[in-house]
Amino acid sequence: MGDHCDEISILYISAALRWLHRLSCPCVSGFHDEERTTLYNPITNQPEMFVKSYENLAMYWVLDSGHSVPVDVPDVALRMLNRILDEVD
């Protein structure tokens, strides 16, 4: 992705984090205290996404993608979906 897309993604991530901070769900305070974890590609061992989770709330940051994760990095999107469905985080 180009620099412009990276800047837009950063803005959306910041907005999403602000939105999460305003939620009145009991798990939000615990979520903010958690560290995000780096997840690595199983073949290349390169970072491909980050996840931050607490109880039933999880947020993923997918690297090298824009708003269309399944189109930009389909293999990463599938691994993320599998983690969600298998309740790994």
Single-letter residue type at 36: R
Distance CA 76, CA 88 (A): 15
- At 4 the pLDDT is 39
CB 52 within 8 A of CB 36: yes
Does the pTM surpass 0.75? The reply is no
Distance CA 63, CA 50 (A): 8
Which residue range(s) make up the domain with 17?
A: 3-85
Which CATH number covers residue 13?
Answer: 3.40.50
Distance CA 22, CA 40 (A): 30
| DSSP secondary structure letter of residue 41 | -
- At 59 the pLDDT is 86
- At 3 the pLDDT is 45
**What is the mean pLDDT of each successive set of 10 residues along the chain, which is 89 residues long?**
46 74 77 92 95 88 88 95 85
- At 44 the pLDDT is 96
- At 15 the pLDDT is 79
Ordered strands of the 57-62 beta sheet? 37-40, 47-54, 57-62
The structural domain count of the chain equals 1
